[in-house]
């Protein structure tokens, strides 16, 4: 079944090529397609394009379809083009001419826009839910290991003393900025395109404000052309937000691979969390972190993929946009899996004590000795030169005691302040408003 088909049939090869993997990905859109249709049917009755009886019949059957989706008994038939066609087919089979009226005053273009936005909105919420316990783990490990020192590096050369409190805490704060970009992306998603039709509006007196309220959107995509232009742009913005989270995980994973290396030897993991070699019995490989690094680097390429797929497209709908689902949708599951596995590994990390007592790390304390001279009254440049000469002459004397007190330093991690930042960002997501709207639709 094709919503656009009239009296001629499309060549089988053309049909297979144009439909592609759309049915598979449309199953992920199914519950959101039904929610959009319920809101649309409600609105059509409000503006007089459906009778109250017709609207109630449609909504009742749509709820039945929604239940079948939730129970995993729903499917898209092999001869049906997409989720929109399947839902309309079921409604028509159940309700006859009343079922055919569901598509009044909308196009597949704005229908899929609504579906995708509702899907992305839900996926962002699930990602936020996954990030929260991971953030809390990083903060708890930061507090637990705040006195465990390790070398800090610049250019991969020994630089200054660091701590595992700083290291864990750094990635926790990185997630707060990642969450800000997720919220920004969410704000772009949370605008209603329904009613833009094929991108040029409709002569029907639709009430777009009503569907916005019914679906729990914060606002409209007002201009109907821009509503369609948002396809591709929205996905790219979401991909960029995902890429930020992925970048945090990728960098953390690279650190973990280095620190587990025997030449560093800062951390270890239980044998059941690492893998071995087929010929080297001593090996404990960080395969989990290596795969997280690679998965996340692949996600980091996603914004560019979407950018290239939509480059030089003029305004209006184009079939190119169909392929965006294949690239973006799986990224959410992959990223959530990576967050979960990183959390598993860091929950079981074993950290070496007294790393910096090894004399090979003595030059990490050169800045501390410079600062001591400055505090005693010596100009900084003279203190720097003196310690440098002591190092060159083999006369460098140091002390491993540290006294860092400023905000965000080894002795003042500011984890509570970072926690408050994260809580503020999470609280700004209007998830409860959305849940209330969806519950209201399903209770009608």
What is the block-wise mean pLDDT of the chain (444 residues), using blocks of 10 residues? Answer: 55 72 85 98 98 97 97 92 93 97 95 97 98 98 97 96 98 98 98 96 97 98 96 96 98 97 95 80 86 97 95 89 92 98 97 96 96 96 97 95 94 97 98 97 86
CA angle 422, 423, 427 (to 5 degrees): 120
Place of tokens 């030449």: 263
CA angle 94, 96, 99 (to 5 degrees): 80
Measured in degrees and rounded to the nearest 5, phi and psi for residue 3 equal: -65, -25
CATH fold for the domain made of 108-204+222-357+414-443: Fumarase C; Chain A, domain 2 (1.20.200)
What pLDDT, on the 0 to 100 scale, is given for residue 4? 44
State how far the Cα of 266 lies from the Cα of 148, in Å rounded to an integer. Answer: 10
| Listed residue (2, 28, 30) closest to 14, CA to CA | 2
Give the count of beta carbons closer than 10 Å to the beta carbon of residue 238.
Answer: 27
What pLDDT, on the 0 to 100 scale, is given for residue 8? 60
What pLDDT, on the 0 to 100 scale, is given for residue 12? 74
**Beta-bridge partners for 162:** 150
| Listed residue (427, 433, 334) closest to 123, CA to CA | 334
3-state secondary structure of 32: helix
| Listed residue (93, 178, 188) closest to 135, CA to CA | 178
DSSP annotation string for 199-242? TT--SS---HHHHHHHTT-SEE--SHHHHHHHHHHHHHHHHHHH
Structure tokens at 408: 């965000």
CATH fold for the domain made of 12-103: Fumarase C; Chain B, domain 1 (1.10.275)
What pLDDT, on the 0 to 100 scale, is given for residue 11? 73
Contact 113, 196 (CB under 8 A): yes
What pLDDT, on the 0 to 100 scale, is given for residue 7? 55
Contact 174, 248 (CB under 8 A): yes
Give me the half-sphere count of Cα atoms (radius 13 Å) on the Cβ side of residue 121.
Answer: 26
Contact 148, 164 (CB under 8 A): yes
Give the count of beta carbons closer than 10 Å to the beta carbon of residue 348.
Answer: 12
This model's pTM is above 0.85: yes
Farthest-apart Cα atoms in the chain, separation: 95
State how far the Cα of 112 lies from the Cα of 322, in Å rounded to an integer. Answer: 10
Q: Which helix (H) or strand (E) holds 347?
A: helix 324-347
Break the chain into its structural domains and give their ranges: 12-103, 108-204+222-357+414-443, 358-411
Contact 116, 234 (CB under 8 A): yes
Place of tokens 């071995």: 276
For 146-150, the CB contacts below 8 A with 24+ separation are 146/410, 146/413, 148/351, 148/352, 148/353, 148/355, 149/355, 149/356, 149/400, 149/402, 149/410, 150/259, 150/266, 150/355, 150/356
State how far the Cα of 315 lies from the Cα of 296, in Å rounded to an integer. Answer: 32
Burial of 268 (0-12, 13-18, 19+ CB in 10 A): middle
């Amino acid at each position: 079944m094709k919503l656009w088909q009239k009296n001629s049939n499309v060549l089988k090869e053309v049909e297979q090529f144009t439909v592609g993997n759309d049915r598979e990905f449309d199953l992920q859109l199914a519950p959101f397609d039904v929610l959009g249709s319920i809101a649309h049917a409600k609105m059509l009755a409000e503006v007089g394009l459906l009778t109250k009886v017709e609207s109630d019949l449609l909504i009742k059957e749509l709820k039945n379809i929604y239940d079948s989706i939730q129970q995993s008994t729903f499917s898209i038939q092999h001869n049906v083009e997409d989720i929109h066609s399947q839902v309309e087919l079921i409604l028509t089979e159940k309700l006859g001419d009343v079922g055919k009226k569901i598509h009044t005053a909308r196009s597949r273009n704005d229908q899929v826009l609504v579906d995708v936005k509702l899907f992305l909105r839900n996926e962002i919420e699930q990602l936020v839910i996954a990030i929260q316990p991971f953030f809390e783990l990083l903060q708890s490990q930061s507090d637990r290991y705040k006195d465990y020192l390790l070398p800090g590096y610049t250019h991969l050369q020994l630089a200054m003393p660091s701590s595992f409190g700083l290291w864990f805490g750094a990635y926790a704060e990185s997630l707060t900025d990642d969450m800000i970009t997720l919220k920004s992306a969410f704000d772009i998603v949370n605008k209603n395109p329904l009613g833009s039709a094929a991108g040029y509006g409709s002569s029907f007196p639709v009430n777009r404000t009503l569907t916005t309220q019914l679906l729990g959107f914060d606002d409209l995509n007002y201009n109907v052309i821009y509503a369609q232009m948002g396809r591709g742009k929205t996905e790219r913005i979401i991909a960029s937000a995902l890429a930020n989270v992925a970048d945090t995980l990728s960098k953390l994973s690279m650190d973990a691979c280095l620190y587990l290396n025997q030449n560093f030897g800062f951390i270890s993991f239980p044998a059941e969390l690492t893998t071995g070699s087929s010929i080297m019995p001593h090996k404990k490989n960080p395969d989990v972190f290596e795969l997280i690094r690679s998965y996340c680097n692949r996600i980091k390429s996603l914004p560019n993929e979407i950018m290239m797929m939509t480059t030089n497209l003029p305004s209006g709908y184009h079939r190119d946009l169909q392929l965006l689902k294949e690239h973006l949708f799986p990224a959410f599951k992959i990223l959530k899996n990576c967050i979960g596995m990183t959390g598993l590994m860091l929950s079981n990390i074993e950290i070496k004590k007294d790393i910096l007592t090894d004399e090979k790390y003595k030059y990490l304390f050169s800045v501390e000795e410079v600062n001591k001279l400055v505090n005693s009254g010596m100009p900084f440049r003279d203190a720097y030169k003196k310690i440098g000469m002591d190092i060159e002459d083999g006369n460098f004397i140091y002390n491993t005691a540290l006294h860092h007190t400023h905000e965000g330093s080894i002795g003042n991690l500011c984890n509570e302040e970072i926690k408050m930042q994260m809580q503020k960002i999470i609280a700004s997501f209007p998830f409860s408003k959305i849940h209330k709207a969806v519950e209201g639709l399903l209770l009608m």
